Amino acid sequence: MLKKRSPYSNELLFGFLAILFGSLCGLSVTLPAQTTLQTFTSQDGVFKFQYSRALVHCTSQKSDEGYPGSWVPADSCSSHGGVCDDAGSSATTIACFAYPKDDFKDKPEFVAAAFFVAEVRAATTPKSCLEGSQNWLIRSDQSAMVSSILARRFRTSDAWTGHYHAGDMYRVFHNKKCYELGIQETGTTVYDPKDIKEFTKQDSTKVRARLEEARDSFTFLN
């Protein structure tokens, strides 16, 4: 004899289908974002990483004397604290991708944020590479994994009138060369939230996610 289905069973079934449908819809939204990733490969073929098309490719504009100058486009790639390079360790930047300033043009608390890869030519041994720079204001340092690569992570910070600068700097010694990966952010605190749109924690998470996406895909090719 067939048992009559409980109305609660129908509710549970419909609830499960609704959750499943919502999950599938969620996949249809996130998958296109994955296909927009581009691949950056260093000119010498040593490393590569993937980055979102939403990021801005920053380039160094050389001065008239041929020395590295300012970063362009300046609105996204430059700040007083610097986000595309590391003057504190005299590292030579190979690649830099910044979060577009236009996304937060109505939120002046956001100044700039970028992911960069550089070579520290002055650090010629594992010890000198992995000890970081004496010019950094280091909050903490510890071993960390970048993809499958063991690195040394240094969390740095700085502040001056109305501004702050924060960075996660990673050092790796590979094939007798010292490489530095960094995520740097610069912001300001001089604005009154009553008069402007606030740069929220959700905004900050969005920026970090894009930059960390590039960091987490970094890998050496030889």
Q: Of the candidates 74, 68, 122, 99, which has an alpha carbon nearest to the alpha carbon of residue 214? A: 99
Task: Write out the two tokens for 94.
Answer: 């190979």
Residue 61 has what pLDDT?
Answer: 82
Domain containing residue 21: 1-35
Between the two ends of the chain, the Cα-to-Cα distance in Å is 70
Same domain, yes or no: 26 and 53: no
Residue 89 has what pLDDT?
Answer: 84
Distance, CA of 98 to CA of 78 (rounded, Å): 9
Which mean pLDDT values do the consecutive 10-residue runs of the chain (222 residues) have? 41 35 36 69 97 96 64 91 86 97 93 97 96 94 96 94 92 98 92 80 96 98 94
CATH number at residue 185: 3.40.1000.10
Same domain, yes or no: 198 and 135: yes
Give the global pTM: 0.81
Distance, CA of 84 to CA of 86 (rounded, Å): 7
202 φ/ψ angles, rounded to the nearest 5 degrees: -65, -40
Residue 69 has what pLDDT?
Answer: 65
